[in-house]
Amino acid sequence: MITAIILSATVVLLSYVMIPSYMVSQKVLHPRAKTLDEAEKMRNDDGIYKPEDLNGTRREDIALRSDFGYDIYAFVIYNKVPSEHAVILSHGVTCRSELMFRYLKIFLDMGYNVVFMDHRCHGRTGGDVVSYGYFEKYDLAKAVRWAKEHFNGRIGLFGESMGAGISMQAIELTDVDFLIEDCGYSSFGEEIHYNLRSTPFVFDAVHYLPSRLLIKLRGKYDIEAVSPVMSMAKAKMPVLIIHGKKDSYVPYTMGEKIFNAVPHDNKQIYAPEAEHAYSVKYDTREYKKQIKTFLMRYGLYFGDLAATGKVS
């Protein structure tokens, strides 16, 4: 009788620990990415991107192959004014390149060609699990190499949320002229801790370690090795950090940690009273002004040169 009770209690306890932990690992490794129709509807409802933003531009698909054995879907929007500069945009988790069109006009107006890419397990790019930069940074570094082969000017990175995390980690693999990160996490392990603490019926102290173990077993990476803040401690390029103070998904304190980790003074931080990934929508005019001011400060703004007919 006692043995049966102990056995039953053990099964209940293990179920309580492992079932939620498995669900966490599943959500981390295999988040449901938005379909093209969903992304286009969100983009149109967002209201920032307008079809006329593409007037005079030219689109070209980019053939990239990941070192991990899948095709990377990417394309470039060439500025209507010939330019030798490019910025690569990286989207957030569950999103895809089409949703990054909200930033297109900003960078076209700054004199850049704009490269879009779907990260692994998103959009039309292959891959087996999402790793929040652990594997994706290598794909992004490959896109940077493509940009350097095709443009003779400045190359920059811009990322939103997970895309910011990927961009920050990629700087350890490749040299770029600037980095703008919007609402990125300082550490993915810390991000999991934060979200577990706000998830009903899940306890950080109980479920974090089993979740971490399951992600490592199933995804072949350690979430604590996904650490953008450690990468940023090695940053050499100018950095602009954008992080909404009301961000309830990736807390603003993470943006402060990233800012403080950058080991030089060529850095700026912009902190509007915005929710996660909503800084650009909160005040689009000010958002663009902050980016322009940042680029001008470091000789990376080429918008005024567009009037001459060539940005070089």
pLDDT for residue 290: 98
102 and 165, same structural domain? yes
For 140-196, how does the pLDDT look when each residue is reduced to its tens digit (9 = 90+)? 999 999 999 999 999 999 999 999 999 999 999 999 999 999 999 999 999 999 999
Strands (E), the chain: 58-65, 71-78, 86-90, 113-117, 155-160, 178-182, 239-242, 267-270
Same domain flag for 69 and 137: yes
Whether residues 5 and 143 share a domain: the answer is no
Are residues 201 and 67 part of one domain? Answer: no
What distances in angstroms separate CA 104 from CA 3, 50, 64, 254, one per listed residue? 65, 10, 21, 26
Intervals of the chain under pLDDT 50:
307-309, 311-312
In a shared domain, residues 8 and 86 = no
- Same domain membership, residue 212 and residue 149: no
Residues 42 and 60 placed together within one structural domain of the fold: yes
Same-domain check for residues 24 and 1: yes
The boundaries of the domain holding residue 286 are: 34-187+226-308
Q: What is the pLDDT of residue 9?
A: 56
Last residue of a domain, one of 223, 247, 274: 223
CATH number of the domain residue 63 falls in:
3.40.50.1820
Give residue 233's identity as a one-letter amino acid code: A
Summarised one tens digit per residue, pLDDT across range 241-268 is 999 999 999 999 999 999 999 999 999 9
pLDDT of residue 198: 81
Q: Are residues 144 and 127 in the same domain?
A: yes
User: Structurally, how many domains does the chain consist of?
Assistant: 2
The pTM score is 0.93
Residue 65 bridge partners (DSSP): 71
Specify whether the backbone of 233 is left (phi greater than 0), alpha (psi in -120 to 50) or beta: alpha
Predicted confidence at residue 7, as pLDDT, reads 59
Domain shared by 94 and 203, yes or no: no
Same domain, residue pair 243 and 275: yes
96 and 168 share one domain: yes
